[in-house]
Amino acid sequence: MLFLAAASAWFSTGAGLALPWAITGTIVALTRHGPVAGPVLWLSALALAAAGCQAGSGWLLARAGEDLVLRLRRRIIDHVMRLPVAALEAQGAGDISARITSDCSLVRAWAEAALVHLPVAALGTAVTLTAMACLDPALTVLTLGAFATAGVPLAGVIARTRRAADAQQSALADLGQRLFATLAAFTAIKAYRHEPMAVARLGHTAARLSTATTTTARLQSLMGPLVTLGQQVAVVAVTVFAAQRITANELPSATFSAFFFLLLYLTSPITVAVLGVGQLRAGRAARARLTFLLGLLTEPAEPPHSLVGPVIATGQEAVSFQNVSFTYPGATPTFQDLSFTIPTTGLTALTGPSGAGKSTVFALISRFAEVDEGCLRILGQDIDAWPLQDLRRHIAYVDQHASVLEGTIRENLQMGRDHPIPEQHLWEALETVGLHEAVRRLPRTLDTRLGRGRDLSGGQRQRLVLARALLSDALLFLLDEPTSQLDDAAEQRVMSTLNHLAETRAVVMATHRLSSVRHAHHTVFITPHTPDDTNPSAPLPIGEDVR
């Protein structure tokens, strides 16, 4: 597609360059009182061909550019979805959104400039100057000198374009990230009357973006006028010098007409080349940011052969922590030498004060984070021996935020399933958690879309994600605060369901609620790690297995 676009642009350039000779032929025919129908038809055909090829080139280039952006965005989205959780959080959702939207568009402009605009402009400039030199070398040298007067400041403008474009895109990503974080806390902002401060902070960030954008626009706005300035100086100089030579009968008027037409045409490829260089520099900055994003390490790829045979050997635990230590980047250790086991069946309560690391334990089991030291075994296998997707296929995870996708209730319940779940099973899962009546009252029941003002209450969301977990065939259930937003009746119903599930599965529930802990068959209590003067080689008693 790009080749066809470039070929059309070259044909358009060739037809445009042939116009001066067609004009010369027309002028000669007129001065000699010869037939002019042929030259005029030839001139008209060239003009139409140039316009048609230019239009075709623009259309083909637009299609090729959109195909390029689509492939690039799909590749980046695929890469982002395979990033570790920590890497995604470090980059920020708003920043990544700016990369996928704005930077990809800049890369399109970079590709168009590098593969089509600049080569065609360079060819057009070279051929035009060659034709001008063939017509009159002296006027050509004069033209080059005139354009050189604008070349020095133009070079300085182009040199600053990349830095300005980089600053603009960084400011855009910063605004996207701050806006995303602000909207995520929208209810809290209103509850605490924090709107003026939020508006001020976002306004300050928007002002930085405006300043960066204005700088870039100012630099880009100088490029065209500088080229035009060079052309105007050339027109004046060539006109004055050529008039003297025509008066002295040293320059035929037909030759001057052809040369003057080429001079006017020369501005177009030079302007395209200058703007293309600016796009090239801005696109390189965007390309560098996308390259950095694509260079982030993803989660381990699937090995060619998955684990074969029984998952859990007789007598082995569902989860085993042996002297496990973990520290978040740039933070103090979350825990050190943590040891406990979780049986293959039964309801286990993981409890302890806030910040002790209960959610981190779930993150390590699900391999959202990696163990620093120690041994972690899941379902009878060392965690590093598990293919990542196989490991997560055997785990049903309910996070403490009760995350619900923007989509229908049916889509949320079937998340992660390769094949559609029969509708009867969906209703049975909803009835198990006591949500079926609320869903039946919705306008489109299972096909009701959630999000954008059509959401469930906090307790309903918790029951929905729990129903999603119950529909899986996982052997290990990790539930992070699954009853934190439920009333007593709903909690009793959920705990009854979990106890029934725990007869054949390993169910682990992180909770602070004493009422939930009382239902557990096993309890693991974690105390937070606090740095002190304790001998670092001595094991810290931060994990207890209470049964």
- At 106, list the tokens: 């800049």
Edge-to-edge strands of the sheet including 346-351? Answer: 395-398, 476-480, 506-510, 346-351, 522-526, 543-546
Question: Do 220 and 278 contact (CB within 8 A), yes or no?
Answer: yes
Give 247-303 pLDDT, tens digit per residue. Answer: 888 888 878 887 888 888 888 888 888 888 877 877 887 888 888 889 888 887 665
Give 351-378 pLDDT, tens digit per residue. Answer: 888 888 888 899 999 998 888 898 999 9
Domains of the chain: 2-295 (1.20.1560.10), 319-546 (3.40.50.300)
Bridge-based pairing of strands 395-398 and 381-382 is unpaired
Which residue would you say has higher pLDDT here, 462 or 311? Answer: 462
Question: Do 145 and 34 contact (CB within 8 A), yes or no?
Answer: no
Q: Left (φ > 0), alpha (ψ -120 to 50) or beta: where does 529 sit?
A: beta
Question: Do 410 and 426 contact (CB within 8 A), yes or no?
Answer: yes
Residue-level pLDDT at 409: 86
Question: Phi and psi of 545, rounded to 5°?
Answer: -105, 105
Give 40-98 pLDDT, tens digit per residue. Answer: 777 677 777 777 776 776 777 778 878 888 889 899 988 988 888 888 888 887 788 88
Total-model pTM = 0.72
CA angle 89, 91, 96 (to 5 degrees): 110
Indicate the burial class of 87 (C-beta count within 10 angstroms; 0-12, 13-18, 19 or more). middle
Residue 539 clears pLDDT 50, i.e. is over it: no
Q: What is the 3-state secondary structure (H, E, C) of 306-361?
A: CCCCCCCCCCCCCEEEEEEEEECCCCCEEEEEEEEEECCCEEEEEECCCCCCHHHH
Q: How confident is the model at residue 182 (pLDDT cuts 50, 70, 90)?
A: confident
Residue 491 clears pLDDT 70, i.e. is over it: yes
Q: What is the 3-state secondary structure (H, E, C) of 129-161?
A: HHHHHHHCHHHHHHHHHHHHHHHHHHHHHHHHH
Residue-level pLDDT at 18: 66
Element at 381 (helix H, strand E): strand 381-382
Question: Do 333 and 529 contact (CB within 8 A), yes or no?
Answer: yes
Taking the C-alpha atoms of residue 263 and residue 269, their distance in angstroms, rounded to an integer, is: 11
Residue 543 clears pLDDT 60, i.e. is over it: no
Q: How confident is the model at residue 185 (pLDDT cuts 50, 70, 90)?
A: confident
Taking the C-alpha atoms of residue 275 and residue 221, their distance in angstroms, rounded to an integer, is: 10
Residue-level pLDDT at 187: 67
Nearest alpha-carbon partner for 496 in 516, 474, 467: 516
Q: Is 546 helix (H, G, I), strand (E, B) or coil?
A: strand
Residue-level pLDDT at 33: 67
Element at 17 (helix H, strand E): helix 2-31
Taking the C-alpha atoms of residue 176 and residue 99, their distance in angstroms, rounded to an integer, is: 10
Q: Is 478 helix (H, G, I), strand (E, B) or coil?
A: strand
Taking the C-alpha atoms of residue 89 and residue 99, their distance in angstroms, rounded to an integer, is: 15
